[in-house]
Amino acid sequence: MQYTLLILLLPLLSFVVLGLMDTKWKARVAGSVGTLVLSVVAALSYYTAWAYFSTANVGGIYQKIVPLQTVWMQFSGQLHIDLGILLDPISVMMLVVISTVSLMVHIYSLAYMKGEKGFERYYAFLSLFTFSMLGLVVATNIFQMYIFWELVGVSSYLLIGFYYTKPEAVAASKKAFIVTRFADLGFLIGILILSFYTQTFDFGVLNSGNAGIFASASGVTFMGASVLSWAMALIFIGGAGKSAMFPLHIWLPDAMEGPTPVSALIHAATMVVAGVYLVARLFPVYVTYTPDVLHGIAYVGAFTSLFAAVIACTQTDIKRVLAFSTISQIGYMMVGLGVSGYGGHEGTGYMASMFHLFTHAMFKALLFLGAGSVIHAVHSNEMQKMGGLRKYMPVTHLVFLIGCLAIAGIFPLSGFFSKDEILAATYMYSTGLGIGMSFIAGLTAFYMFRLYFNIFWGKENSYEHSPHESPLAMTIPLVVLAFFSFFGGLIPFGKFVTSDGAAYTGETNYVLAIVSVLIGITGILLAAAMYRKKTMLPDRVSQSLGFIYQLARNKFYVDELYLFITKNVFFKGMASPVSWYDRHVVNGSVNGLAVVTQWVSVKIKGIQTGKVQQYAWVFLLGTLLMAFLILFL
């Protein structure tokens, strides 16, 4: 299966070519090339998936296949960094998800980004992102993953800051980069600790279940926790940064400054689930050696999920609502992983989490692209400027409805199945957490339909020019993604992706399923009552909640807290003294050296008269003196 290398190399090639050509090619050519390459990649990914799932099953267990493995940098006998391709159920699943969503975004952007300045650059960056993300998921070792992890961060930065003339976009891109980079510091330290004790980077070795490699870490503790827990927790911090877990979530809402298709690709479907993927990748280590960390992950996920859902109920920028919804859903996935055990029935959470990742990628990409279609028509992100669009944009309306129903978890759409599995796993772990997650599911349904009704129903605005349906290049990806969102849940996911590789058929908990659907419908009805027609109800509700509403509307002031801490503590307390030291002591000493040298040179330059005979004088006198000294002393 060495052709899988092409899946990586083609987007890279596309990036290099498009990047070098830049504006030398017409926008249409650049877009077509990028899209064409991506469709080849998608086809290869589908073929890989088919080939993998039909051949790799040995004795009921999906094997890990490493078609390629090379040593990239050899530092010493043990310390070497490898590059390779690892195929196992989750990486193959991710290949399919990434290439599908990326292809859809490529096609969609042909119309959405038409006429933008820097169209070619946009496609080059999309290719770079796709390359990095694919490289991340097929990484055979944690260091390779880290490399691509950073590449993903860079391409995300480039794409968020695509409209680099807008100050908000520049600020958002910097924020995203710095916050995730900060989290990656934890990731790197975690990698170093882990590999220091296990003497390996390789996922195959780490996940082999061989307790011997962790032996040297046993009994080593640091500040009351075992060193392995520290390592895994730090690695999770890296994942939390990319996946926007509380309190590192602040960059994701701002990242919506990027073009909408980029939000769909990076900040909904692929990059933000990298953290989930990372935890899933090291799941055997987490579950076997550091279950406490895993439980922590579950609670972080649950809290983030609730937190983001509450904020999402109050936002008015439709992309921000979707962004907070994304954070909330990723929290779901984290919970799913966190409550999971290893293998069989115990491993439901793992399977459900991966399942939710898959379905979420589809319907959230759909929702973002749908929102992009709406923005394309209305030229605004604000809910107030929308309303009654269902008449003007029938296709967008229909697919958006499918997306909302899917995320709300209504039978038989895809979200129902995956979310229901997560809820089942959560109830198995703890009833309290389960009830909380069910509540969040209700909130999800509420805010999604608040969004839906505000855009497509509600009062009808008087538009300057009547909105129209988007072109085919935008609606076709929407329809394709709607198809996946609708029927995706029917895939028997347990047969393909489980924690131990063995197929597993989940038994449906009918009571739970019915209750979940009912909660979802309640949320929808509530939203319909409040937003379907223009009423005073929403204002009254927000006024009666008062303080809490204000808190949530301002995102619980987390951004302000960050600003306060960075400005007052870091900048004033640390950066200013360091800056002073640099400016006065470091610069001062170097400048002082230069000043002294200059002074001395001015003083002694009189010696250099430019008169040859004086030089000869000195030279001869010196020669005589030297000879004298040598002979007589």
Asked if 612 touches another protein (CB under 8 A), the answer is yes
Asked whether the beta carbons of 381 and 368 are under 8 A apart, the reply is no
Asked if 598 touches another protein (CB under 8 A), the answer is yes
Asked if 610 touches another protein (CB under 8 A), the answer is yes
The 10 Å Cβ neighbour count of residue 203 is 24
Q: How far is the CB of 602 from another protein (least distance, A)?
A: 5
Asked if 605 touches another protein (CB under 8 A), the answer is yes
Q: Where are the alpha helices (DSSP H) in 56-79?
A: none
Of 128-136, 273-281, 329-337, 610-618, which segment contacts another protein by CB under 8 A?
610-618
Of residues 536 and 607, the one with the C-beta less far from another protein: 607
Among 602, 604, 629, 633, binds another protein (CB under 8 A): 602
For residues 296 and 338, what is the distance between their CA atoms, to the nearest angstrom?
7
Of 285-293, 342-350, 475-483, 621-629, which segment contacts another protein by CB under 8 A?
621-629
For residues 70 and 578, what is the distance between their CA atoms, to the nearest angstrom?
43
85 pairs with which residues across the strands?
68
Of residues 9 and 593, the one with the C-beta less far from another protein: 593
Identify whether 247 is preceded by a cis peptide bond (ω within 30 of 0).
Answer: yes
DSSP designation for 382: B
Asked if 618 touches another protein (CB under 8 A), the answer is no
Q: How far is the CB of 591 from another protein (least distance, A)?
A: 13
For residues 214 and 196, what is the distance between their CA atoms, to the nearest angstrom?
10
Asked if 617 touches another protein (CB under 8 A), the answer is yes
Asked if 630 touches another protein (CB under 8 A), the answer is no
Q: Spell out, one character per residue from 346 to 385, where the chain touches another protein: x when CB under 8 A holds, - when not.
A: ----------------------------------------
Of residues 550 and 601, the one with the C-beta less far from another protein: 601
Asked whether the beta carbons of 450 and 528 are under 8 A apart, the reply is no
Of 127-135, 365-373, 507-515, 611-619, which segment contacts another protein by CB under 8 A?
611-619
Of 132-140, 374-382, 581-589, 608-616, which segment contacts another protein by CB under 8 A?
608-616
- Which H or E run includes 81? strand 80-87
User: What's the token pair of residue 591?
Assistant: 């400048």
**CA-closest candidate to residue 441, choices 502, 507, 520:** 520
57 pairs with which residues across the strands?
62
**CA-closest candidate to residue 513, choices 436, 418, 387, 608:** 418
Asked if 535 touches another protein (CB under 8 A), the answer is no
The 10 Å Cβ neighbour count of residue 592 is 10
Distances (CA, A) of 294 to 138, 245, 280, 290: 23, 14, 11, 7
User: What's the token pair of residue 10?
Assistant: 């083609």
Among 205, 211, 565, 621, binds another protein (CB under 8 A): 621
Among 563, 589, 609, 626, binds another protein (CB under 8 A): 609
Among 223, 511, 536, 631, binds another protein (CB under 8 A): 631
Distance, first Cα to last Cα, the chain: 83
Among 611, 622, 626, 633, binds another protein (CB under 8 A): 611
Among 9, 73, 616, 626, binds another protein (CB under 8 A): 616
Q: Spell out, one character per residue from 216 to 245, where the chain touches another protein: x when CB under 8 A holds, - when not.
A: ------------------------------
For residues 46 and 620, what is the distance between their CA atoms, to the nearest angstrom?
87
- Residue 475: exposure state from Cβ atoms within 10 A (0-12, 13-18, ≥19): buried
Q: Spell out, one character per residue from 58 to 77, where the chain touches another protein: x when CB under 8 A holds, - when not.
A: --------------------
Of 403-411, 431-439, 575-583, 598-606, which segment contacts another protein by CB under 8 A?
598-606
Identify whether 412 is preceded by a cis peptide bond (ω within 30 of 0).
Answer: yes
Asked whether the beta carbons of 141 and 175 are under 8 A apart, the reply is no
DSSP designation for 317: B
Q: How far is the CB of 610 from another protein (least distance, A)?
A: 3
Asked whether the beta carbons of 256 and 371 are under 8 A apart, the reply is no
Asked if 627 touches another protein (CB under 8 A), the answer is yes
Of residues 602 and 633, the one with the C-beta less far from another protein: 602
Asked if 629 touches another protein (CB under 8 A), the answer is no
Of 160-168, 228-236, 457-465, 617-625, which segment contacts another protein by CB under 8 A?
617-625
Of residues 412 and 588, the one with the C-beta less far from another protein: 588
Q: How far is the CB of 619 from another protein (least distance, A)?
A: 10
Spatial neighbors of 65 by CB under 8 A, at least 6 apart, are 1, 52, 56, 86, 87, 88
Q: Where are the alpha helices (DSSP H) in 346-471?
A: 348-378, 394-408, 414-429, 431-456
Asked if 613 touches another protein (CB under 8 A), the answer is yes
Asked if 628 touches another protein (CB under 8 A), the answer is yes
How many residues lie near another protein (CB under 8 A)?
17
Q: How far is the CB of 613 from another protein (least distance, A)?
A: 6
**CA-closest candidate to residue 86, choices 188, 184, 5, 187:** 5
Of 120-128, 385-393, 537-545, 605-613, which segment contacts another protein by CB under 8 A?
605-613
**CA-closest candidate to residue 414, choices 350, 483, 498, 496:** 483
Residues in contact with another protein by the rule CB under 8 A = 598, 602, 605, 608-613, 616-617, 620-621, 624, 627-628, 631
